[in-house]
Chains A and B, each alone.
Chain A
Amino acid sequence: MPDAIEARDLTKVFGHTTAVDRVSFSVRQGEIFGFLGPNGAGKTTTTRMLTGVIPPDGGTATVLGYDMRTDPVQAKQRFGVVPETANAYTDLTAWQNLMLMGELYGLGRAHAAERASELLGVLGLLERKDQKVQAYSKGMKQRLILAMALLHEPELLFLDEPTSGLDVQSTHLILDLLRTLNQAGTTIFLTTHNMEEANRLCDRVGIIRAGQLVALDAPERLKAAIDRFHRIEVSFDREVSAGGLAALEVVHTIAREGDKWLMTVEDTDAAIQALAALAREHGAAIVALNTLAPSLDEAFLRLTGEGTS
């Protein structure tokens, strides 16, 4: 079976910034592929090149077997896109937006209407279908965009941060739908900077930083890397020497931030025990102690081998 997406040396330059720098990867048919990266890493730019919205300055994108440079229409006919910014026509109603999509994808009117009702029902928008999109909330707009992307039953779906800024309920609704679609065979390409989401949803993830693909793996390995890496924030009621803290065996790195110490540790429990012991030793009381979930950046550092210092 050919790959659903094949990116080879994709490159995009804006002025002096190389937004995407020779990125190569492939997405297999039927998988959920997560594309992770911090803000400005080049996720949206890559997605736009793959979906034929902007041309690459270098490299090739082959989607569903079509070269995006020579046969973009054929490929677009068979994939759906949920872009970074919701872009339904706000002067049209949800229903009119969906019917427009139906015509742009060449669906018959009756078929389009049937699909539209079905999707609006699943996404909880059926009662508001004749209201102008102007009056929609962010979450409603995002659900409508998803319906618009799915109307023509695409075999591949691109989503650029589909849940960013949404509440738990909308997020769940969307992620559940993605899972259902995937089980029915839809290949999914999803960008996010939410580790949690990627972990729960994706078969494989690619990590991009500053335009370069720095890791490409199953989330289990990613997860393993993160699980080895926690942060603890602690502050004492009196001065405790940095040397004493750094000498603790469980502590990886340590930094001072105001009256707080920020440290990364592998074993949270051992670290807390050690901190408590250290405090007792110095006759200091612990004023605050927080354990923080590992950040995306730490995962990056870990995965790319730059965080070993």
Chain B
Amino acid sequence: MAQVIVVTSGKGGVGKTTTSAAFATGLAQAGKKTVVIDFDVGLRNLDLIMGVERRVVFDIVNVIQGEARLNQALIRDKRIENLSILPASQTRDKDALTKEGVNEIIEELSKDNDFILCDSPAGIEKGALLALYFADHAIVVTNPEVSSVRDSDRILGVLQSKSKRAEEKRDKVKEHLLVTRYDPNRVERGEMLKLEDVREILAIPLLGVIPENESVLRASNTGMPVILDGESIAGQAYKDAVSRFLGQELPHRFLEPEKKPGLLRRLFGGRAA
């Protein structure tokens, strides 16, 4: 039986798809059989971030409507073993997804995977509700910013009332806070909510902190999940977060501003070159 993980946030554009791609890749690298599903029907993007956009033939809606078999729609990653992607439809709308249809897909994928990641669309409408409905774990992606924190709180409420686990009164969905686009320089200047503040307000266990970093845009340009960029601090932070998810205890990194150049360097360094 696979574990189902939803990557969710309420607010749009906070880094769900970036996180889904990184996490799916990281879990597969750790030897876990993993499939990542794009639930953003109408706005498919995971395929681009994973670099498989030219291999999409069928999508999740085709499978639900019986136009293709699940195996035909799954795209196997060429770089990493154990990893496959189920793309969203680009042309249909979210009503094409049904609870029964998604249930069948998840049951089938459960048979031969360890993890099923669901990349949620923004909002708290049908697509987002379906993405979280079957979840065992929720990675709540939050930026250190008022509207993102508020929406994360909202989505936590939805997880506690509208998920399958909540409806069946089983153990609740396990919540994990992932703070992304964290900029220690701005935090130091008092312009951005501190990690401790976000933790205190949302009060769920912290899985990781991903710094704001140029490497994320670079990775999306080339269709390579940022976790594969071992040099980048965002890539390393995602790697740590995946390891923590799998039970390792690791300190949180990249929380402080990078060391500023010393006084003499600041005065004369720029002109010396």
A binds B: no
